[in-house]
Amino acid sequence: MKKVSIDGELCVGPTFSKAEFALIKRNLAGQKGLTTLAGLLRAAGNLQRLKMLYLLHAHKEMCVCDLAAVLELTDSAVSQHLRKLKDTNIVKNRRDGQTIYYSLVPNVFSSILQDLFALDETKEPLSFMHKEIA
């Protein structure tokens, strides 16, 4: 049996039989949506893109120049970020004359994002990022 120490605790696993591991691995291999989810999280996981998503959530829709002004980025940088979000079907756009407005695509992922933006935990810095020195 392999003994591994994790956070000072000893793990004496494995706790599953070979047959159980085979079933677990087969079930994991069948979860094809994890690749899609990884792509969505990768797109939303960039801090600037997450800020854009928050702004689109808060203001319903914004144009590139407004996003660029708020985020203090170039129009080109904002457009590149929006392209990634559009390619993963997180945002959509509409044209009004010369101006293109972006908004969240109403889907399960954007609904979850909106729920995350409303959590108390997302309104304060994470405690593990600001550990106090005793």
Cβ atoms 103, 60 nearer than 8 A: yes
- Residues 88-111: pLDDT tens digits? 999 999 999 999 999 999 999 999
132 falls within a domain: no
CATH code, domain carrying 103: 1.10.10.10
- Determine if residue 102 is left, alpha or beta; phi over 0 gives left, psi from -120 to 50 gives alpha, anything else beta: beta
Number of independent structural domains in the chain:
1
The pLDDT of residue 2 is above 80: no
The answer to whether residue 128 sits within a structural domain is: no
Is 54 inside any structural domain? yes
pTM equals 0.77
Instruction: Label residue 83 by pLDDT band (50, 70, 90).
Output: very high
DSSP string, 90-120: SEEEEEETTEEEEEE--SHHHHHHHHHHHSG
Domain span at 83 = 16-123
Crossing angle for the helix pair 47-59 and 75-87, to the nearest 10 degrees: 80
Q: Is it the case that residue 11 has pLDDT exceeding 50?
A: yes
Tokens for 119, please give them: 């959590």
% pLDDT > 90, the chain: 73
